[in-house]
Structure 1
Amino acid sequence: MWGRSRARRQRQAEGLAAVAGPVEAADAALQTLLELRRAARGELARIEALLDRGDGLPSDTIREQTLGAMSVFADLDGVSQRYHEVRTATVEAAEHGVEVAVPWLGALGEQVRSMTGLGETFAGVGESLAYLRERTERLRAGLAPLRQGAHEALQAAQDELTAAQGADGWHAWRTDLTSLSDRLTELDGGRVTPTARRKVSDHYRELEREVTQLRGVMAAAPR
């Protein structure tokens, strides 16, 4: 009896020793993967913090470019759950000896390869999100003077409209200014979808030109 107990403890010790290194390496692979996910989520949060601030950024268009990252996050949940299941089974099998643990070591290796591949994907996602954030920050900075110019032009036109009350064409000018004001509100709210041919900056420039043209018409009208 004592001999069997000693042999069982020996098998258990040998089995656990055999899986210790692979399990430690697998745990490290998972930790690396989780750190990559945290970094990617951090970039995603920084992008989100830039949106919906009324400064002309096309928020919906920018968010669409982050959808791929969300699907990768979902993939990690499944990989992590499967890894913990295999890890637990590997350690439990090792308690019965090296021979019993060998098949589970193979499964553990498959999980490590899967996590390594997903880690490479996460690294790419993190780089893409960082690039998107930098582009968004540059776009925001570039839109600021254009937005200011459009607002100043529109305010000047509204002041001139007030001063021109009673002039021929006044009601048509007011209608035009209301339309331009509505368009500026849509631009500021990020509700204008940019295209390769017409960027958000183009919309701001076009709007300011139209306001300037209207101001010219009002200035030239007889009083």
Structure 2
Amino acid sequence: MWGRRRARREQEDENLEAVEQTLGSTDGTHEALEELVTATVKEVEAVQALLGGRDGVPVDAIRRQLEPAVSTLGDLQDVARQYLENRERAVAELSNGIDAALPWLEVLVEQAKGMAEAGEELAGMAESLAFLRERTERLRGDLVPLRERVHAAVRAAQGELQAAQGAGGWYGWQADLAALGDRLTALEEGRVIPTSEHKVSDHYRDLERDVAALRDTMAQAVR
């Protein structure tokens, strides 16, 4: 009988050790996912901090690129929270024996597999966000000389329009310049959606060319 009791205790110890190993493994996966979520949130916030400066950065286009990451992060935060709830239930059931806790441990193992897969996807997403941040920072710098030239051209056109007041075609020029000003505002606020064929810098160059054309028209008419 003593031998059977000892064997039973040893089996219970082995079972408990197996449970601890399972929890340690699933906890490690959960913690790794939490770290990735935190890192990805920081990348999203870093990109968002670059938006809204009225500096020509395509805000609308970049926010659209952030939407999948924001949605995924929300889902994964729910997954992490659900894991903690299930873990608490598994630990509570241990007081009723290994058999009572086993179904919940199986749930945790399945969740850990899903979290590991999500972690791989999230790691790639964080890299993409870092690239987007770096590209956005570079774009802000590249746009500075273009923006300065366009702003200077618009200011010059406004002065020339005022000086030409009373000339034939003046009201048409006023409307044209207002439309050009609206285009500049849209560009500055980032509401223009660039494409691979027509980048933000191309939009600024187009606007600079059109302002120059209007100035030429006004200059020729008032000679």
Shared fold (TM-score greater than 0.5)?
A: yes
Q: Name 2:119's counterpart in structure 1.
A: 119
Which secondary structure does the structure 1 equivalent of 2:38 belong to? helix
Task: Kindly state the Cα deviation for residue 153 of structure 1 after the two structures are TM-superposed.
Answer: 0.5
Q: Name 2:38's counterpart in structure 1.
A: 38
CA distance in 1, matches of 2:217, 2:153: 14
Look up the equivalent residue of 1:48 and give its one-letter code: Q
Look up the equivalent residue of 2:81 and give its one-letter code: Q
Q: Name 2:164's counterpart in structure 1.
A: 164
Q: Where do 5+ consecutive residues of structure 1 fail to align?
A: 1-6
Q: Name 1:179's counterpart in structure 2.
A: 179
CA distance in 2, matches of 1:144, 1:207: 15
CA distance in 2, matches of 1:110, 1:101: 15
Please tell me whether residue 23 in structure 1 is matched to residue 38 in structure 2: no
Q: Where do 5+ consecutive residues of structure 2 fail to align?
A: 1-6
Deviates more, 1:21-30 or 1:99-108: 99-108
Look up the equivalent residue of 2:174 and give its one-letter code: R
Q: Name 1:109's counterpart in structure 2.
A: 109
Please tell me whether residue 55 in structure 1 is matched to residue 55 in structure 2: yes
Look up the equivalent residue of 2:128 and give its one-letter code: S
Task: Kindly state the Cα deviation for residue 93 of structure 1 after the two structures are TM-superposed.
Answer: 3.9
Q: Name 2:201's counterpart in structure 1.
A: 201
* Deviations, residues 124-153 of structure 1 (Å, cap 9, x unaligned): 111111111122222222222211111100
Task: Kindly state the Cα deviation for residue 210 of structure 1 after the two structures are TM-superposed.
Answer: 1.0
* Deviations, residues 145-167 of structure 1 (Å, cap 9, x unaligned): 21111110010111122222333
- Compared with structure 1, are the counterparts of its residues 87 and 12 closer, same or farther at alpha carbon in structure 2 (3 Å cutoff)? farther
Q: Is the 8 A contact 1:18 1:98 kept in 2?
A: no
Task: Kindly state the Cα deviation for residue 170 of structure 1 after the two structures are TM-superposed.
Answer: 2.6
- Compared with structure 1, are the counterparts of its residues 12 and 30 closer, same or farther at alpha carbon in structure 2 (3 Å cutoff)? same
Q: Name 2:65's counterpart in structure 1.
A: 65
Q: Is the 8 A contact 2:60 2:192 kept in 1?
A: no
Look up the equivalent residue of 1:200 and give its one-letter code: V
Look up the equivalent residue of 2:202 and give its one-letter code: D
CA distance in 2, matches of 1:179, 1:88: 62
Task: Kindly state the Cα deviation for residue 13 of structure 1 after the two structures are TM-superposed.
Answer: 5.7
Q: How many residues get paired? A: 218
CA distance in 1, matches of 2:192, 2:63: 14
* Deviations, residues 109-136 of structure 1 (Å, cap 9, x unaligned): 2222111111111111111111111222
TM-score where L is the length of structure 2: 0.85
Q: Is the 8 A contact 1:94 1:101 kept in 2?
A: yes
TM-score where L is the length of structure 1: 0.85
CA distance in 1, matches of 2:170, 2:130: 50
